[in-house]
Each structure stands twice: as structure tokens, then as C-alpha cells.
Structure 1
Amino acid sequence: MRDTESDVLVVGAGAAGAAAAWRLARHGFRVTVLERGRWVDPADSPASSPDWEVIRQTGWNPNPNIRKGPDDEPVDDAESEIKPLYFNGVGGSTVMWSCHFPRFHPSDFCTRSLDGVGDDWPVSYAELAPYYHENEAIMGVAGVPGHPAYPPHDAPRLPPVGLSPGARRVAEAFNRKGWSWWSGEIAINTGPAGPNAGRCNGCGPCELHCPRRAKSATDLNYLPAAIALGAKVITGARVTEVLTGAGGAACGVAWLDDEGLRHRHMAPVVVLAANGIQTPRLLLASGDGAGLANRSGLVGRRLMLHPMARVTGIFDEVVEGHRGIAAGPVVSHHFYETDEARPFKRGFKLQVMGTVGPALTANGALGRRMPWGGAHHAAFARQFGHAVSLSVCSDDMPDEANRIVLSDRIAGSDGLPAAKMVYRVPEAAKAALAHGRARAREVLEEAGARDFIEMESIPQAGFHLMGTARMGEDPETSVLDRWSEAHDVAGLFVADGSAFVTAAAVNPTNTLQALALRLADRIAETRRSRAA
């Protein structure tokens, strides 16, 4: 097939790629988005199926190594204590997420200056604040204005999500303990239904695409808006190489279609938004043997994943912890900032998690094996409807030993070596999780729990893929500049979590989308000024 071309090429139609594509199209660029996966009709989601819990463990599993769909590539995770979770398709992992949508704290951008750990970002909270505001307006965020962890802002908020009886008990226990909490900031429509957004009914399986379209996802907002402005989305496109031309500048990509035919799409600006695993894989497979944009040697290194733990309290009373949204109706940042009395720097968040439904409860998914035989029904009745879970999400400081490299034993369908994850939970994160589990148990006991199930660490927790092509001012110690453009390759930008300098202790989607909008504005400013 002949080469195609556009002004800007975006690789990946997920959270960041969709936001960047919309903003660039709005600036008047001819934008093409290449996506490995397909469009997913929300009506096809198993969320309304009586067997949704079983289906989520197989064909809708968030782990590509378990899901094994036609658009998934294997990830060599044998040397990773946390396993990869993401979705390949239009909308990316916003098709399969729980919609927790906080901002990073101002302190998260300067941990080296404040606490002597990690590194300072080349961008501040204040610089990102207007992009947070705009992104939240487009994605739609339910919550209560005035969260005390952040500087005052007037970003719009939908009504907060409701609380199950169990979540309300925990909130009241936080009050009695004198520990701060806030209604979760959730990208779910709790207001009136709109043209492409239904209203949340609190059914629970938020990590599946929402058949009511109540859950915000970029295949429902950013991408339709980008297409209306002239952007094109090509699905089933497996990108195999970033191409460079005169002077080493980016000039396009090579990609394979469903038939295995090779194509080239040429563009003077290439934006990678394939996620924190697949973006470094593509960079390492491009260029010479050392990879593209890798003068620093940091492409793939400093992988951060947000280690998580969970404590479940079992109550004598029925508390219906399985009802309502999947994650975050009650969130505490009380232990988020550094406390010199603790044996670790930075901190963690606590949040109420929706407990699992009857099928997974029966299968021991809360963390305690359920007996089979005559004792099963009594054990099941003791847990189901009587459980409330608190998750602990730790900050995850960068470590160059935690990394993405090219596998020497597994290949993908695109012919490239698969990405290999090498990750060990840092000691500081282990200490934070231990402290967090103790606090979670303490507040659950205050709420009335009589029995506890603790998961010291959750292996299937690698949704937040960060740090593998970090931003920075110095080309010797970073891959990207402060605008997310590669130091070594003009016209090559990275819009996903790979660009992150540190991980914070909250979900990254709002921040990576804010960075994507900022990146797009930078492209518009610099390309137009160069043309002029």
C-alpha cells in the first residue's frame, strides 16, 4: 500500500492519545490516530450479564496475558512482582478502569526538594492546573468541591457518588478517629443523562465498559469530538517502528495491518501514547541497537506501578460493601504527605473499594480460601454482604532496576520481541503498605468489623504504568524535555505515563491527560512559529 501522511500522527487511542488528538485537531492539524485494538460497543459489555464476574476473569480480564484477545500482545512478566493490566482498543484502558480521577498533589511535583527522594518534575502543579480544569470538564467528574489536599479551584463537579452502608460506616469511623477523608473524585456521570452519557445506577462492575455509558471513557468523549474536527482513527494497526529522517528527526512510523501487510504513515510530528510498557518497547525496537531517543539509557527504566495492599473487614451486620461503584466513594489522603515520625518518605492513600460479588466471594477472592463441602454455605454467608474493603495505594519512587526491556524468549504477533517487565516492590513502598494496612485495620475496627482479611500485596495491580521515558531538563538524565518532546529526536513526543518523573500515590489518568493537552498546545505553538 502507498504511504499515507498527516500533520501529526498519534500512536494509541487511549486516555492520553485521545486527549492529544482532540486538542491537535482543534488547533487545525490533520491528525491520524493508529490504534492496535478496535472500537468496543458499550452495549456489548458483560456488565449487565448475570455471569459478569466469570467473564471478567477470562475474556474481559484486565491482564493481557490472561485475556489473550486478538489485539493483545504477550508481556514477559515472569520477573515482575506486579502484573500488567491494560486494555488494547479505542479508548484504551478507559474502557476497563474504575474511573478514580484525582489530581496529583502540588508536593508530588517536587519530592526531591521537599523530601530528598525521587526527582523534581520540570513542570509544576500550577502549570498543569488549567489543564486539569479543562480535562475534568470534558471527562466529567463526580465529587465534592473544595478538597483540602489541593489549592482552591473552581473546576466543575457532578454530584458525588452514593455510599453503601459499609462505606458510610467507614466514613463515620474516619471522623471518630480524627482522620481526614473526602468523597472520591470519580469520572462517572451522576447527573442527568446526555447525548453520549447515561446516568450511573450504582450497579458495581465499573471496571467493565459501562452499557449505560455512565462511565467516562475517551471512546465516548474525546475521540468522537476529535473525529468531528477531522481526525482519523485507524484500528487494527500494529506499529512496529518509529521512523526518522533528515537530522534524526521523527518522520512517521511503520505499521502492520490485520493481513500482516506493512505500511508507512509519514508525519513530521509523532506522539506516542501506547502506555508505559508498549511505548518503551517501541522505542527500544526502533533506531539502532540501543533504541531510539535513548542517549540517557533510561528508555524503559524507572518503571513505577503503584504497589497496593488490601484489608477487608467482616461485620456482623449486613453492610452491602459490594453495592455501588467499584472504587473510591470514600478516600483518605490523611497519610499522604511525608511524616518524619514514620520510617519512610512520602505516603499512601486509603480508599474504600467495592467488594466482589457472590461468584468471586464464593471463590475466595476477598483473600481467604472458602471451604467446599458442608461448611461452604456458612462461610459464604459470613462474608457476602458483610464485608468492606480498604485499599492502600503507596507512592512508588523510581528505581532504575525496575524496567521494561525486550524479551529474549517471547515475541509478539508484530514480530518484535515482547516487552519484558522487571519489577520489585521498593523497600520504602513495602514499609508504606505495612503502615497503611495497620491504619486500614484500625479504622475498620473502629467501624465495627469483627474479623479481618489482609492481602499484604496485590500482584494483579499493574494498571498504573509510569516512568519509562521520563521528562527532565538534562538530556543525560532524562528521555524527554519539559514539553514531553524527546531530547534526541525532534518531533517525537510521549503523551502517556511513560513521561512521569515520580508516581505520586494517586491514580495517574487525570495527570497524564493534562500533560497530553499541554503537549498538544506546545506542538501548535512551535510548529506554527517554525512555519512562520
Structure 2
Amino acid sequence: MTKTLEDVDVLIIGAGPSGSVAAHTLAMAGMSVVCLEQGDWMSPNDYPGNRPEYELLQQTQWNPNPNTRQRPADYPLNVSESDLSPIMFGAVGGSSILFGAHWLRLKPSDFRLRTQDGICDDWPISYEELEPFYSRIDAFLGVAGLGGDPAYPPQDYEMPPHPLGKGGVRMAQAMNGLGWHWWPGTQAIPTFKHKNLAQCVRWGVCESGCPAGAKASFDLGYWPHAVVAGARLVTGARVREVTVNAKGNAEGAIWIDRNGAEHLQKARIVILAANGIGTARLLQLSKSAAFPDGLANGSGLVGKNLMLHPNTEAVGLYDDDVEGWRGPAGQLMYSLQFYETDAARGFYRGAKMNLMPRPGVLSVLREFDDLPFEERWGQAIHHLDRYAGHALSWAANIEDLPEESNCISLDPDLKDSDGIPAPKVNYRISENSWKSIDYMLDRMVEMHQAAGAKHIFRHRLWTEQPGHLLGTARCGNDPRQSVVDRWGRAHEVPNLFIVDGSVMVTSGAVNPTATIAAWALRTAEHIIETKRDFIG
């Protein structure tokens, strides 16, 4: 039997960055809010970064790939038809538990690729419309950065940037010699204590959870404030279906608790914040007589145009100590030198490149995997081990252009632990992206050469990075060509909103969380302004 729960004003599905921003904003406005999250609260004491076996734990229970990790909150992914294995994390705070907190905005050009480059579609909003929401999120989280980057319109930060460190200073000199753009890293990691966030201790283990509680993962950066404002967060709640009433409006959601019992949470407004894979999956699961192809899928675009930001990397090992263990990681610096389209390169758009530390001995030893056994182990390991702390990584976040063939669908056989169909990922890297990957990899090798690296290793493709899940329920003005409107409202379901990365029309080449959070804030405030349409 399904237990029906008391109606609320707003039901949010997903407690990651977008869900937490929406929950806080709506609860602060006096609306009754319930958020359903399939994962649990995480404790900084559980994170592996302050344990000697840190690197081993990263390969097993703290692996970013849910198919490897297999925590109770995870659901499996069929990636047999995908060039990448998307990563995500089910928990309060979502995948921000594992993000490096790189915090960059889309550039103005990212919103108008059709107008500027004659490709893809323009967004229904501009950078200028989203800019004040970017700034307010930055201030709330205590984002650390340096204003004045000439690659962006004017912006500034209340927190100063983190130090470049020895490696950053060395690379900055090399970049100056090349005459290429670079800027100190912008991070959602406060430089000093901020609200309930501790001061960063620069351990460089950000991407497996911050043991110091300094990184603004959204379980720390937003959820405590949302709970104080009155939002109710239910953990261990796996949503099976968004229900609709006779009028075709969203009615609520059926969810399953850890004991297997079903519940129906009714609400006057439903918000999806389950990421670009989870939201598409849930819309496809929510079939009815009114929506036989999935909820809000009259355009046929739910699940399509998946963008994942393929990453390429060049690792440099240096004879000098470059403090390769010192964080944040995070980015010591970034470069937008090759961000915009340059026809002479032979492909559209470009990449954001970021310099990161490379903490850990095993991560350095893995670079020598191609050597014969006798040159890697035994006495030889002491020769290679001297590069621990001497490694720096340049990684390029490649702009992924939307293609309908890259998509999420429901797998006919694979199920999660509650028997719900799991997502199947169909994703192939385009010829345009491969050209960009190879071009950027050559440029990053040049950067290491200019900085005097002793050994340089190329990793053409990270198959399990990053966790940028975008585009599967795109926004737009035309209901035939989009799933939601410029406010995130589903064209066909007036009380259903989407606030995660699935709304993005194009991906840009920067890490998307700042844009997702700004969009969520803007949508939540629009809901407040129009709430009489739903609540009376």
C-alpha cells in the first residue's frame, strides 16, 4: 500500500546544488517545502582524505563511478554504448561532495552560439540576465577569487583567491613567457572561515570530500540554512514516479523508503533537481495516459542532447619541489586562452584549462605504468618516488556540443536496488570534440615544456570524468524544440519546474555548478513571484 502524506506547497526531488538553493529560497519566502533525497547526510569524518590509505579508498568505496562504488544510494548505469562513464554521487549535497569546487561562470558568448558562431541554438536568456544571480550565489557561499579577469565582464569576490603555491607561480611565469591568458583559480572554497565553513587547510584532497569541512559542498554551504528556514529534507527516499492529476498537472511523487515501503508526497508545485541523468530518467519513468512518452516530453527531447564535457590531461613531473600535494584541488589557476571559436583551428569552440596539484604517491607511480616491471618496483621505486610532490596536472574541460543521438533512455533489463529501470547512456564523442581534445592536449604539453617539466605524460581522455551532466531537458521559447521555458517551467506541465543542468542549451567549457546554482535561484524567485497561480 502507498501511504499518502500531507500536501505541501513545493516538492523538490534531489538535494544537490540546485535542489538546496531552491529549497532555501522558497522556505525563506514562507512556502512549505519538502525535499526527497535518495542518499544520506555525509560526515567529514568519513572522507578518506585524512587517512594514509587515501588513494586506495579512492579506487574502491570512494570511487567517483557509481558502478564501481555501489553505495546503497547509488543506481547503476548502462554505459556499454558510451565513450565516457558519467560520475555522480547520491547524498545530501549531491555530487558537490566530490567536486573540486571550480567556480566559473559561463561567458556571454556561451548563451548565443547560434548568433555568434552559427551553430546550436541560443539560450532564451542572456548572461546579463543571469549575472546578478551568479553574484548572489558567490556571496552566499563565500566564493574565493580575484576580480578583473579580462576574459570576463567585470566581476569581483568578497574572498581573496587561494595562494598559487610554488607550482602555480612557476606555471604563471611559463604562461607569461608564452603570452597566454591565465588567472588565479576561482573556488567555492572560502579562503577564511565563512558561516559554518571552516578555513581551507589546502590538503589537496577536495575531490573525495573535504575532511576539514571547508569546501562549499552544498550539504554545508546551503542545506543547514535551508533547514533553519523551514525546509524539510527526507533522506533515503528513492523517487519512482512523478504523478499527475486529471488536468495533467503534477500532483506529487511516489517514493520508496529504505524498508521498501511506498509513499505519495503531494504538492502544489514539483521541482526536479536530480541532475541531467536522474531528471531525464524520472521524466521517462513518469508515463501516463496524458504523457505516454514520458512526462513533459511532447517535444520528444527529454533525455536527448546529453553533454558530458570530455576531459583531456597532461601531467608534468618536475625535478624541483612544486608542492604538488598542496591544494586546493580545485584549480591553482585556469586559462581561457583557447575558449572561443577560431576557424583556423578547424573546429568550433574550445576549452577551459585548469592547473591542479597531483597529491599522492600512487598517482605518480601510475604515470610510469608503461615501464618494464623491473624499472618500476623494487629498488627502482625509490627513483620514481622522488617525483611524489613534484607533479602538476593541466586538464582541459572540452566544450561538448549538443547532439540528439547522445541521450539517456531507460534500460530494458538493468534495475536499481528497488527494481526501478536504470538509465542507459548512449554517448559518442564527436569529431569536433576529438579535434579540440587533441589541440588542447598539445597546448598543455607546451605549457609543461615552458615550465621545465622533466617528464610529461599525455592522457588523451579521462573516461570517468567529469560529473557534468547537461542538456537532457533543455530550455527554450519554442515548445517544439525544448522541454522547459526560460524560467525552467515545463511547457506542458505548468506546475513542474526543472532547476538542474539538464536545462542547459549548450554546455560552455567551464565547470557548470555556478550556472546551475544561479539558474536555480532565478527559477525559485520566479516561483515566489507567481505562486498565486498555484497556491491561491
TM-score bracket, shorter-length normalisation: over 0.9
**Is the deviation greater in 204-213 or in 298-307?**
204-213
User: How many residues matched?
Assistant: 529
CA distance in 1, matches of 2:299, 2:509: 26
Aligned to 2:418: 414
1:323 alignment counterpart: 326
Which 10-residue stretch deviates more, 161-170 or 83-92?
A: 161-170
Looking at structure 1, the residues matched to 523 and 432 of structure 2 have their Cα atoms a distance apart, in angstroms, of 32
Deviation string 1:406-460 (CA, Å, 9 cap, x unpaired) is 1122111232210011111111111111111111111111111132100111101
State the match for 1:198 in structure 2. Answer: 198
Matching of residue 521 in structure 1 with residue 522 in structure 2: no
CA distance in 2, matches of 1:366, 1:173: 25
Asked whether the 8 Å contact 2:164–2:184 carries over to 1, the reply is no
AA of the residue aligned to 1:413: S
Checking the alignment, whether the CA contact within 8 Å between 1:163 and 1:324 is kept in structure 2 is no
Unaligned runs of 5+ in 2: none
Task: Give the equivalent residue in structure 1 for 2:336.
Answer: 333
- Shift, 1:322, TM fit: 2.8
Q: What residue is the counterpart of 2:89 in the other structure?
A: 87
CA contact (8 A) 1:471 1:501 kept: yes
Cα distance, 1:222 vs. partner?
1.5
Contact 1:83 1:460 in 2 (8 A): yes
Contact 1:370 1:380 in 2 (8 A): no
CA contact (8 A) 1:252 1:270 kept: yes
* Structure-2 residue corresponding to 1:405: 409
Instruction: Provide the secondary structure at the position in 2 that maps to 1:33.
Output: strand
Q: Please report the TM-score for the alignment, with normalisation by the length of structure 1.
A: 0.96
- The residue aligned with 1:445 is 449
Once residues 146 and 370 of structure 1 are traced to their aligned partners in structure 2, the CA distance between those partners, rounded to angstroms, is: 49
Q: Which amino acid aligns with 2:342?
A: D
Q: How does 1:275-290 map to 2 (within 5 A)?
A: 275-288=275-288, 289-290=292-293
**Aligned counterpart, 2:179:** 178
> Do 2:4 and 2:265's aligned partners in 1 also have CA atoms closer than 8 Å?
no
Match of 1:308 among 311, 317, 323: 311
Written as runs of structure 1 = structure 2, the 5 A alignment for 1:217-256 is 217-256=217-256
Match of 2:119 among 109, 117, 120: 117
Letter in 1 for 2:482: S
Q: Could you say what the CA RMSD is over the residues aligned between the two structures, in angstroms?
A: 1.6
1:163 maps to 164
Distance across 2 between alignment mates of 1:46 and 1:90: 18
Which runs of 5 or more residues in structure 1 are unaligned?
A: none
- The percent identity for this pair of structures is 44
SS of the equivalent of 1:2 reads strand
The Cα of 1:379 is off from its aligned counterpart by: 5.1
Q: Which residue of 2 aligns with 1:470?
A: 474
Aligned to 1:138, which of 137, 140, 162?
A: 140
TM-score computed with the length of structure 2 as normaliser: 0.96
Separation in structure 1 between the aligned mates of residue 512 and residue 92 of structure 2, nearest angstrom: 19
Q: 1:529/1:260 Cα in 2 relative to 1: closer, same or farther (>3 Å)?
A: closer
Q: Is the 8 A contact 1:145 1:157 kept in 2?
A: no
Counterpart selection for 2:497 from 472, 493, 496:
493
CA distance in 2, matches of 1:235, 1:441: 45
Tell me the amino acid that sits aligned with residue 88 of structure 1. Answer: G
Query: Distance between the aligned counterparts of 2:369 and 2:220, measured in 1?
Result: 35
Q: How many angstroms apart in 2 are the aligned matches of 1:255 and 1:65?
A: 22
Structure 1: 4+ residue segments shifted above 3 A: 365-376, 529-532
The one-letter code of the counterpart of 1:337 is E
> Which of residues 152, 155, 177 is equivalent to 2:154?
152
Matches within 5 A, 1:421-432: 421-432=425-436
Any conservation in 1 of the 2:204–2:357 contact (CA below 8 Å)? yes
Quote how far apart the aligned CAs of 1:189 are.
1.7
CA distance change for structure 1 residues 178 and 370 in 2, over 3 Å: closer, same or farther? farther
Cα pair distance change 1:188/1:499, threshold 3 Å: same
Deviation at 1:378, TM superposition (A): 4.6
Distance across 2 between alignment mates of 1:319 and 1:44: 29
